[in-house]
Structure 1
Amino acid sequence: MEYKDIPTQADVERIAGFRQPGCVSIYLPTGTTPAEADRARIELKNHLASAQRALEKLEVPRQRVQTIQAEGERILEDRDFWRYQSRSLAVFLDGELAETFRLPNRLTTACEIADRFYVKPLLRALTFPQTALILALAGNSVRLLRITPDRPPERIDVPGMPKDAADAVGLASISGRQADGRIQGSEGHKVRMLEYVQAIERALHPLLANSTEPLILAAAEPLIGIFRGAGEHPHLVPEVIAGNPEDKTDEELAAAARAVLDRLYASKVAALRETYEARVAAGTALVDLSDIARAATFGAVESLIIDIDRRVPGTVDEETGVITFADDDAPGEYGVVDEILRRALGSKAKVYALHAEDVPGGGAAAAAIRFPV
């Protein structure tokens, strides 16, 4: 069993692409304490029993039902897995796929059985994961921290990371006094700080090369400028936690970093709205749900914004994309927005899950399109 914490776009696309009767999607709130994990485990056990009854009622082949039961039991019995939880847990089972995600955002409990998986709740974590790395950089110390929404900051041990500037350049101090005739004074200090930063970057490279997490720098000048100028940092956040990080505890740095993330995400939402409004005016974005459904059906959606909290009962024609609205969701149906979402993911569209007030046009969805349909 493969356990992941934050789903990638590829994960969501893959899960959304499954279509066969008997797909079981379970979401439940969890927690980081043993008592919370025990409650979540009991809730999952109850959901699995409910899912079994529903699968049998739908006349799903007995062999598949037994396989789904067995996969669910493996999750329940994996004590190491239950020791480490986040705010919510997503479980997907269908006899072929068995996958879990520990999610940093708080989701309401749900157990859905249909001919596809219910993926919309995953998208909030994908849009704004609320995790980040903090590089606390000072002349006499360096720390790398990872923050998540619901756990204390975690110090990451980085092989080859220098303890301080003196360690990086092989000096007993960074006072600027040297006996070997090399560069001294303020110019020598800057050279040593650059060597220090370069040593840090070499140590961090294997970790950062495979990470998509935002990197937040906590430092003071001149180290801020030296670090920014020393190399490429594609996930470095523009805003820094200013001042000497040695004056702040890990918890204080984490609190400051979460505030930085809040402002970063708010600016991203504002920029997204501005871009969509311009594209609507230019005719390359849509806000009418019927138009969006048709575009998604023909693979024309380039990016999609959905209201994470809204369900629109109804169905979307498989060939034409025409919507038939309904008063309530039919059994095994997730509604119009979720079907649009599935089709958009199938054509590699970028999807953003936002709250109602942030969706351009004020509707259930908005879409930028590759071509008119």
Structure 2
Amino acid sequence: MEYKDIPTKADIERIASLREPGCVSIYLPTGTTPPEADRARIELKNHLARAVKSLEAMSIDRATIGRIQAEGELILDDRDFWRYQSRSLAVFLDGTVAETFRLPNRLTSACEIADRFYIKPLLRAVTFPQSALILALAQNSVRLIRIDPEAPPALVEVEGMPENVPAAVGLPSVSGRTASGRVQGSEGQKVRMLEYVQAIERALHPLLATSTEPLILAAAEPLVGIFRGATDYPRLLDDVIAGNPEEKTEDELAAAARGVLDRLYAGKVEALKEDFSTRIAGGTALVDLSDIARAATYGAVETLVFDIDRRVPGSLDDETGKIAYGDDDTAGNYGVVDEIIRRSLASKAKVYALRAEDVPGGGAVAAAVRFPV
């Protein structure tokens, strides 16, 4: 089983807002098997040992170091926590805060210590996540399938899920086919399908109530329309994998679902680019890094997009946002882009991690602003 604690925007804003000496940020790849979890646990233990030495070298007070060490040991000793892992783990400790997030994408191992948390890798997991749920819905069968960017598709067991229309309405099956008959005609059949779909929705509700993943429907009409009318899940996508899903394997459904996600995110990126193009022409979007740093400092950034792989060594003045460029990022200094991100999140900006070719203006960042600065 794979557990994901994908952070919400509020989680990221809260973590980004904290600024105290001795903030420890740890990222490491994990896995869903016991050997992978054991390796990740050992790696976290090693990161924590190095973090304690670094904190001591930075002259952080012993009480704070002791609390950070104790928080880390609680995570290490939590057997249930290590039984359920995803693809990566993010850990944030400062002696008061102890936050962990199990993430679906593979992140590079890192341990960073500064006067604030390192959040840039975290945003990769939440901008356009490549994980989703597929509901393969037919009259004679129903499957819930989870897809992830670095794992094969997996069937999800759902307690109370009906097997087919007859099972949902209390009728026997006939030769493996629905026992709907023709007595009640097409309207009677639709009523039975509605009862079937409602039973499915009830079974799914506990899982979907805590899920942050898109739900992709694989079905044919009239089940598509019936299911849409029966659910209020806000992340049900408009795009559908059409046709009878019984004719497709899990791998085929996963391939089709990735196409749905690609189209969804490509559309969002194009909409962002078009919006920025209009706003740049109108003077309400910026592409110059110095201008953006100043806007972020004064809380003017409304939407920020940045190149997830681009690093700009340097720092920002706390009062003016003026950039002091450096030759390389130093310990405790995450660079210009990360600090712009942190300040933008502090003013409730929308932040998107994109590929280099999708950033308007071709720079490291672009920003739509609420007011000129």
Q: Structure 1 CA distance, aligned partners of 2:135 and 2:303?
A: 32
For residues 38 and 188 of structure 2, the distance between their equivalents in structure 1, rounded to whole angstroms, comes to 58
Give the RMSD, CA atoms, in angstroms: 2.3
Give the secondary-structure state (helix, strand or coil) at the position aligned to 1:334. coil
* Pairwise CA distance, 1:228: 3.4
Question: Counterpart of 2:265?
Answer: 265
Matched, 1:307 2:311: no
Name the CA distance, whole Å, in 2 between partners of 1:234 and 1:93: 33
Is residue 19 of structure 1 aligned with residue 19 of structure 2? Answer: yes
Deviation string 1:327-361 (CA, Å, 9 cap, x unpaired) is 22233111111111111111111111112111111
Alpha-carbon shift at residue 262 of structure 1 (Å): 2.7
The amino acid of 2:286's aligned partner reads: L
SS at match of 1:7: coil
Aligned-partner Cα distance in 2 for 1:117–1:302 = 22
CA distance in 2, matches of 1:222, 1:216: 16
- Give the 3-state SS of the residue equivalent to 2:123 in structure 1: helix
In the TM superposition, residue 175 of structure 1 has moved relative to its aligned partner by: 5.3
Q: Secondary structure of 1:100's partner?
A: strand
- Aligned-pair identity (%): 74
Aligned residues: 366
Give 1:128 shift: 1.9
The one-letter amino acid paired with 2:67 is: T
Aligned letter for 2:62?
Answer: R
CA distance in structure 2 between the partners assigned to 1:8 and 1:271 by the alignment:
22
Partner of 1:139: 139
Q: Tell me the amino acid that sits aligned with residue 245 of structure 2.
A: P
Q: What do the CA deviations read for 1:87-145 (whole angstroms, capped 9, x no partner)?
A: 22211111111122122222222111100000000001011222212111111122223
Alignment of 1:167-316 (within 5 A): 167-172=167-172, 174=178, 176-177=180-181, 184-230=184-230, 232-316=232-316
Q: In the alignment, which residue of structure 2 is the partner of 1:335?
A: 335
| Partner Cα distance (1:214, 1:307) in 2 | 24
Looking at structure 1, the residues matched to 286 and 336 of structure 2 have their Cα atoms a distance apart, in angstroms, of 16
Whether 1:155 and 2:156 are equivalent positions in the alignment is yes
Cα distance in structure 1, aligned partners of 2:205 and 2:334: 43
Asked if the contact 1:311/1:335 (under 8 Å) is kept, the reply is yes
2:347 maps to what in 1?
A: 347
Q: CA deviation at 1:274?
A: 1.8
Q: What CA distance in whole angstroms lies between the structure 2 residues aligned with 1:229 and 1:81?
A: 38
TM-score (norm 1): 0.90
Distance 1:116 1:60 in 2: 14
Aligned equivalents of 1:235, 1:48: Cα separation in 2? 37
Distance 1:147 1:170 in 2: 32
SS at match of 1:118: coil
Could you tell me whether the CA contact under 8 Å between 1:86 and 1:150 is conserved in 2? no
Q: How far apart, in 1, do the equivalents of 2:331 and 2:224 lie?
A: 56
Secondary structure, counterpart of 2:66 in structure 1: helix
- Contact 2:158–2:203 (CA<8 Å) still a contact in 1? no
CA distance in 1 between partners of 2:315 and 2:218 (Å): 50
Once residues 121 and 157 of structure 1 are traced to their aligned partners in structure 2, the CA distance between those partners, rounded to angstroms, is 32
Counterpart of 1:296, as a letter, is: A
Contact 1:176 1:186 in 2 (8 A): no
CA contact (8 A) 1:313 1:328 kept: yes
Task: Give the counterpart letter for 2:344 in structure 1.
Answer: A
Post-superposition, which runs of at least 4 consecutive aligned residues in structure 1 deviate over 6 A? none
- Check whether the contact 2:87–2:102 (CA below 8 A) recurs between aligned residues: yes
Instruction: Name stretches of at least 5 consecutive residues in structure 1 with no aligned partner.
Output: none
Q: Bigger shift: 349-358 or 74-83?
A: 74-83
Residues 220-262 of structure 1: per-residue CA shift (max 9 Å, x gap): 2232233335555532222222222223344443343233223
CA gap 1:241/1:285 in 2 versus in 1, 3 angstroms: same
Partner of 1:115, secondary structure, is: strand
Q: Match of 1:111?
A: 111
- One-letter amino acid of the structure 2 residue matched with residue 313 of structure 1: P
Q: Which runs of structure 2 are paired with 1:22-171 in the superposition (5 Å)?
A: 22-151=22-151, 152-159=153-160, 161-171=161-171
Q: Distance in 1 between matches of 2:158 and 2:203?
A: 10
